[in-house]
A and B are shown apart, each in its own frame.
Chain A
């Protein structure tokens, strides 16, 4: 893989909190790695594990799913379902040799621009430490 541009991160951000949080990071002129490709979704509960597995197959080194903090979901409970789902997907990925650190679930509110930039930076560092993935399609 070409690590020149750094690891590829696909970020699924919920429309109501995390996407606005990323916006906040931008408008506050905070820097965060440009390796992340952001996809806006209505809710972290919208993120089908299929989207994550497909991202890995298509060459992502890491996948970030970010949503509202527990209790703050715009749809009341979507993030609780997401938490269960990805809590189980992570061991499955690990079982087939995709290190579980490559999938992250984070809570970022719309005012947490700083947290968003920290999350992406630390994720990138982690992925650089893990190195490129090999069985990409």
Chain B
């Protein structure tokens, strides 16, 4: 599950408690509310045009990105006379909470974003609520458009039990890449260069700390950023094949490997050496990102979804790079994956047109528009779209390098439905010295082992 999205949309997710009123009866009472709410929004424009394509995204709150989608909607309407797009935007937390019921009802949209992982897309596939997209993928040539490793995250066996293999049920238009942003002026002032090994990077942290600069602006009050920092270190230490096998439950791998324990120990060490913003466990997402924008901190570890905001605030003073590997000369490995994938519900009324829409928003023409607006598309845009030397260009270059070396790794908490909660809590205990690296890794393995056994991979 993509919890980074929750954080990006924090203002919206705050509304979730209002939506989910009366927690005790929530499981059944929301069942009666969701379909009626959805039908009232979808039925209004039905008669105004020959065909109405109902599109639903789960990114309400990302004004820039929704703006891009709205522009793409207009272009699609111009290319398909007689088609009217009715586009609704849901906050991410609402999408995941209501999608199961909405797609079971007659109010299912024609195209919708769904969330990756067993507990979202897997459940929908198992319930027969999503159409396989393989025939469309062949027709439109989607396989050649995006890196095969990244397309895996939209695949499930038809029983919803095997992740990353089987039929294609969703394809993303935008890509999420986790890496480091740095303050160019501060880096220069400290006399440092971008690191090429993990050891150099930790040395940079020590130099910054000694000079009185916060090495990494970071706060974990929202619980999700810690996973990004931890996984960035795992990316730098563990073999890339192991990391992919772990998420997709292949080859009987374990969470308790020496590299993972080493990564946990390193994260704890950084916390104890004061490399993070003071009071980081009580610091909210927007606070430390805003702090970094204002010059407080040399690095931050977060995703490409913050690029637009950082670019607006810092202009040419912000750059992006991937945490280098421990071994010199190895190409970096990073957490990169598609954003919320687009899928066609089984109960969609216009599936063919829906596929044409998905084809359009994942085209290289659409990719160019995403890049122009500071976003990171899954499909490579035409060369020279991003301004030279900008963080957008850095991200595109990093993306291309990962694609070339096939070094993408999915978000590790996709591995089991409960792993996000296990790891996000465990990382906080690690950072607060409430647990040891080996106990933390044992807890992660307990969660992982239980799931892999129960779903008999």
Partners in one complex: no
Binding site for A on B (CB under 8 A): none
Binding site for B on A (CB under 8 A): none
